[in-house]
Structure 1
């Protein structure tokens, strides 16, 4: 009985464990293309698309795609300046990339984490993340990754006013990009070097590198990069007192930003125009551009808030649906376990009852066989006793008959004895 109950317990535990662990095995690793939806222009649609991919990947046990989706969601939040949510998703991706040993993806994700901390002005934390990424890229001998990490580290050192280290890493980045013949990378590093020289008020050198960067950007037709560079050149001219040239470049930057619908750069250009006009003593123009820039910044702020609210609302609605689905699935799983457990208990109880009945029948059968054996033995003993009794009776009768014969022969014997004695006396 004890053995049967132990077996029952073990079977139930095994069944429950099997059901709880019966998730799909991890699929083969595969690369996943970035979402085709432009995150910046339509974050809600992008989020829904990535969320569907994430749900499917989790269902299939595809950890690589799950990690990539988390990283993409992080980028989406980063683009909406929701840095806390961005970091939360970046770290989820980081955890999975580390577990699955996807070193290249991990290194890229570390740079994204570093950028997020950088724009939150947490430069020490950003630097650590960039340095970790650099070590991984060096281990992989991934030259482009190494170059990008050098650039990020140089920018971070610039923000902490450590210009010696900033120059060192920007020069290392520049060399790597030159080896790769990457004109986009080279242009960016030239701009970074110009920014360092501008911070140090070495304005001739700053202008030199900004012009080098602008030339490469114009050659590649990179209009987005040109806006910021042109704005930087306007700053340098303003700081050197060349106000007319500063106005030319600032207006150019404003025009390009407006055409490309880049409100941040547009507002920045207006701000530079306002500063220049103020230095020129043209306060009406200064006020005009200052107010125009402020309005653009306010509209940016309002639009960003609207987008963040819409995104957070979408996130909330999806989370609500996911929670409801998870709860429903948990209820189904629990009910399934209860039904299976009940069936198993019934089966085992029936087996236990059948075993008890079988044992009882065997016991009765054994008792019947034992009784039959006793009966047979008793019959044999009885027959033996009867036989011995008959033999004893026969023997007794023989003895009686013998005694009777002897009794009958006794008188004759006496007569013969008397005759013999008389005969002897005569002789």
Structure 2
């Protein structure tokens, strides 16, 4: 039990300490897995290993992502499965393997929809939009970014609203709507300044600098680049620094400060290679190639050109491929090789035409669909007119002969239709009412579960850590100051033992709070662990736990009922051990017609139930039984042992 508690504490600690070295976090996560924790904790550990390995070893990252995915599928953990697909998609995105990234994101999105996790859905919309942005599909990028923005605005998440608006502004930049992009970036910079969100502010300054550059205001552009670089260097934002060195290097290229431009782009390339950012490596390589073309250093230009172009072709980065083909034609023009110049010029033109053609085809298809819809509606109206005319002729010919019969049929039909429609309306209203009630219940349960999880995390992270600190402090006092006074030593030992017991009690409470319901199997495991611990603690008293054969292990209790049963067993067992001087304590769970029957018996010295003063222990057991509406009874005689009976209805 101690090992399990330490593993859980280490897991929570490892998730919070982002500032420490990744290798230490990775080692601590592997240690958690080595201790064989519960499946849910193991899934979280695998998922975190996937995340922390992404900048160390992509193979290892994908391996742990697959482990998290398989374990989630095997244990029907939909939340873990969605997170695993999300993490795997991020790894593929970093490798610029955009097809694989989209597939993983889409699978995660489908599960998030099933879980009704609106914030998770919004995050995936944003990621899918970024993939489309990197492949220069700006209409799709804007579509997904806007969907993400609506969710974050509805959920009142201002930080994420700011991030999405930054992305939308970058999409406007890709669509060459630079005024719109600048306006959004300036607004977001003010929000980030007020919130003191320095990472977001670094990105905003970079985006503002880019927008001013496209609007030909180089002075303001350089000013914001420098502000952004200062922030990124202060807080060691490597990914942002890589982009900033690259962007500012291009400005220096335009100012013909080639040496400084080469230095910044070289630093950018090194960072992007370290981050395994294939898209960024391709972009910066092509920028360096352009710089060396300007410096007439053709061998270096060729090396960067080919590496940048091949990488762009590997992940189908259309915008980068256009840049590569354009620079290749310039390179071969310097080499006086017209055939190669023509070859790359044609590649450039063909790709540009393809991008344009796809857009035109899409727009034509949309127009054609609108036209087809209009034609179909016209045809339907014409057919309806013909049918109406024919029916009118028939009615005129048969009015005199069948007027009375038709009137009766029409009246009867009308009455039936009115009755039938009313019945349908009543059913629909009833179903809508039931659905609303169900949705309200589900929403209430979700809020309660979220509150329970938040409280349990606070208990675990704050109170648990503080109690552990108390134990450590007492041990330090005992061994550091070499206290010899027996009374002081015993007092410190009692405080330490009490604190340890409190930690175990806290862990039991957190266990119950984290569950909507508790199965009999869960309860059986918990009681078995408690009995094992009691046997290990006491040499004089033997503890025994039995469950009736054939008792269904999937019987479910509410978290309150399950915890109350466990606490009654725990209290009764402790009383037998501490006060009754029992040599044997047995716990039995049997099934009865109305539910289950729990018996806790001991062979201790017993007591007179009429004369004994009911202390906190007996009162606590009675109160717990009253809370869950269970029958509670204590049978005891002096020197004949004690029997505690708890009958719980299902």
**So what's the TM-score if we normalise by structure 1?**
0.58
CA–CA separation in structure 2 for the residues paired with 1:144 and 1:183: 13
1:288 corresponding residue in structure 2: 260
CA–CA separation in structure 1 for the residues paired with 2:170 and 2:251: 19
1:233 partner SS: helix
Larger strand proportion, structure 1 or 2? 2
1:45 corresponding residue in structure 2: 24
- The answer to whether 1:89 aligns with 2:64 is yes
List aligned pairs for 1:397-412, cutoff 5 A. Answer: none
- The answer to whether 1:65 aligns with 2:65 is no
Q: Give the structure with higher Rg (CA).
A: 1
CA–CA separation in structure 2 for the residues paired with 1:105 and 1:54: 16
CA–CA separation in structure 1 for the residues paired with 2:275 and 2:241: 15
CA–CA separation in structure 2 for the residues paired with 1:302 and 1:130: 25
1:162 corresponding residue in structure 2: 137
Single out whichever of 149-158 and 89-98 deviates more from structure 2: 149-158
Contact 1:190 1:209 in 2 (8 A): yes
RMSD over aligned CA atoms reads: 2.6
Q: Which has the higher contact order (CA 8 A, sep 6+)?
A: 1
1:79 partner SS: coil
Q: 1:300 to 1:107 in 2, by over 3 A?
A: closer
Contact 1:191 1:209 in 2 (8 A): yes
List aligned pairs for 1:17-416, cutoff 5 A. Answer: 33=12, 35-36=14-15, 38=17, 41-57=20-36, 62-80=38-56, 82-279=57-254, 281=255, 283-284=256-257, 286-295=258-267, 297-298=269-270
1:150-206 Cα offsets, whole Å, 9 max, x none, are 111111222232222221111110000001100111011111111111112111122
Deviation at 1:111, TM superposition (A): 1.3
Larger helix proportion, structure 1 or 2? 1
Contact 2:212 2:221 in 1 (8 A): yes
Contact 1:268 1:293 in 2 (8 A): no
Contact 2:14 2:29 in 1 (8 A): yes
**So what's the TM-score if we normalise by structure 2?**
0.39
1:360 corresponding residue in structure 2: none
Structure 1 stretches of 5 or more lacking a match?
A: 1-25, 305-427
CA–CA separation in structure 2 for the residues paired with 1:115 and 1:303: 13
Contact 1:264 1:297 in 2 (8 A): no
Deviation at 1:84, TM superposition (A): 1.9
2:81 partner SS: helix
1:320-367 Cα offsets, whole Å, 9 max, x none, are xxxxxxxxxxxxxxxxxxxxxxxxxxxxxxxxxxxxxxxxxxxxxxxx
CA–CA separation in structure 2 for the residues paired with 1:266 and 1:278: 18
1:211-268 Cα offsets, whole Å, 9 max, x none, are 2332322222110121122112111211221100100100101111111122443343
Q: 1:70 to 1:88 in 2, by over 3 A?
A: same
Structure 2 stretches of 5 or more lacking a match?
A: 277-650
CA–CA separation in structure 2 for the residues paired with 1:163 and 1:89: 33
1:21-72 Cα offsets, whole Å, 9 max, x none, are xxxxx99xx9963614645641221111111101112xx5x22222211111
CA–CA separation in structure 1 for the residues paired with 2:22 and 2:230: 26
